[in-house]
Chains A and B, each alone.
Chain A
Amino acid sequence: MYNGGKILLGIIVFVLFAAFPFYNNIGKVSAKPEPKLDTPVIQQLAEKKCVESKEFMKAEHMQLLNDWRDSAIREGKRIYVNSEGKEFRISLQNTCMNCHSNKKEFCDKCHNYAAVKPYCWTCHIEPKEKKS
């Protein structure tokens, strides 16, 4: 082998980059996030259901929130009619956060896990919660 030192250095740098996820996770335990739904308001609901189905909300909630923002702020429409014909008032703080008052235990659980930082709270006031 020619230029052994330089070749070896190059290979070490390559392996350090390529295997980063593997050695970075040694000894770390990460559990799948379980967003909590046990807020006082949700517990008092007769039918424990969000504005749309759970599957829809899981996949499309960001899209829905974006559409809500556009319709409330840009078009002034404050009423949302869901797929079952039920009406809801379009408001993040008064509708969504009324039930899901536990941002730290609900929103942040998955968002932190997937390293998502939504910019909801650059305009809206973040709910004040007791530190758990």
Chain B
Amino acid sequence: MKILFPFVAVIALVLLAMVGVSGGSLHFLFGVIIPYAAVFIFIIGVIYRVLKWAKSPVPFCITTTCGQQKSLPWIKQNKLENPSSTLHVVGRMAMEVFLFRSLFRNLKGEMKDSSRLVYGSDKWLWLAGIAFHYSFLIVLLRHIRLFAEPTPFFLHLLETFDGFLQIGVPRFFMTGVVLLSAVTFLFLRRIYIPQVRYISLSADYFPLFLIIGIATTGMLMRYFLKTDIVGVKELAMGLVSFNPVIPKGLGVIFYIHLLFVSTLFAYFPFSKLVHMGGVFLSPTRNLLGNSREFRHVNPWNYPVKVHTYEEYEEDFRDKMKMAEIPVEKE
């Protein structure tokens, strides 16, 4: 059920675009209104989520450390794993954001000889994760050619490296295949590893199916069905210059791709995908590991009313003496 529901949802999106465009000729809805709405929801939604996170107080440093904290001068500190200055924190955050350092630490437990539990390094998730994220980034950046005229300087450089194998025409881009393989691995992993399958929800499968759909339709358009790229750019340029036009002759496959992407953008702020912004706000990564160096006082501590033993004795001294309970002050 957890797999079936998101799968049906993605198929429904395909049918929706097919019926809407080829059956109902709702080109303006699928080509202009939905993409605008999606981008609007995406930008506003992400800002809303970040502001909401920023309202949560983090009074103590709750870093999870993986190295020696700053201590006596002759004990070597692990500055990146247990930062004590902003510069160190920037280094740790850069490793987290660009290299997925935490995922690199991934361990896997296995029963050896049916009685011994053994933990070992497991880098496959990290490898698929980093391949997926970077190829998705490059694919996204490559699309800038449809949204800018003239195209920015980095585009040609990116395409040269991406299509460096010079296979076929239009030139084969490596990132497309890497993206699809990596996201397929991330999906299969959820199915084949029983523990991961147990904790996987519809909210995990839906984005995976959606991204598989996006990559598949994208590559179909580029290599097999041959969408009119000039028409696509006309539509895209119309959108970004707030002068929307619907060029004739764009196939249904393009509208399916566009609806997938719009869905991803609109779904983004309300889903787990918003870890794009969240990674920067991970308290265990972005706080200083200085819990011993400084005393952290909870900012909303109210003055607690206390009644000390001395005051207690003061109140009951006579009664205590009568009951022959020893007192500190006579």
Contacts and interface: CB of A to CB of B under 8 A. Distances in A.
A121 interface: no
Contact of A62 (B146, B170, B233): B170
B169 A118 contact: yes
Contacts, number: 89
A110 B230 CA distance: 7
Given A22-B240, A24-B148, A65 B169 contact: yes
Contact of B43 (A4, A19, A30, A117): A19
B212 to A, nearest CB: 24
A59 B228 contact: yes
Contact of B145 (A26, A28, A115): A115
A21 B47 contact: no
A32 B247 CA distance: 10
A114 B230 contact: yes
B149 A30 contact: yes
A2 B286 CA distance: 14
Interface residues of B, number: 40
Interface string A11-55: 100110011111011101010110000000000000000000000
Interface stretch (B51-59, B196-204, B317-325): B51-59
Nearest to B299: A2
A66 B151 contact: no
A58 B247 CA distance: 15
A119 B147 contact: no
A30 B280 contact: no
A18 B234 contact: no
Nearest to B223: A63
Interface string B137-161: 0000000111111010001100100
Contacts of A11: 47, 50-51
Given A2-B54, A30-B237, A115-B155, A18 B42 contact: yes
B227 to A, nearest CB: 8
B240 A7 contact: no
Contact of A60 (B43, B55, B147, B226): B226
B67 interface: no
Nearest to B276: A14
Contacts of A127: none
Contacts of B234: 32
B120 interface: no
Contacts of A19: 43
B308 interface: no
B166 A113 contact: no
A94 to B, nearest CB: 20
Contacts of A125: none
A2 B156 contact: no
Nearest 6 interchain pairs by C-beta: A21-B147, A62-B169, A59-B226, A115-B145, A30-B149, A21-B240
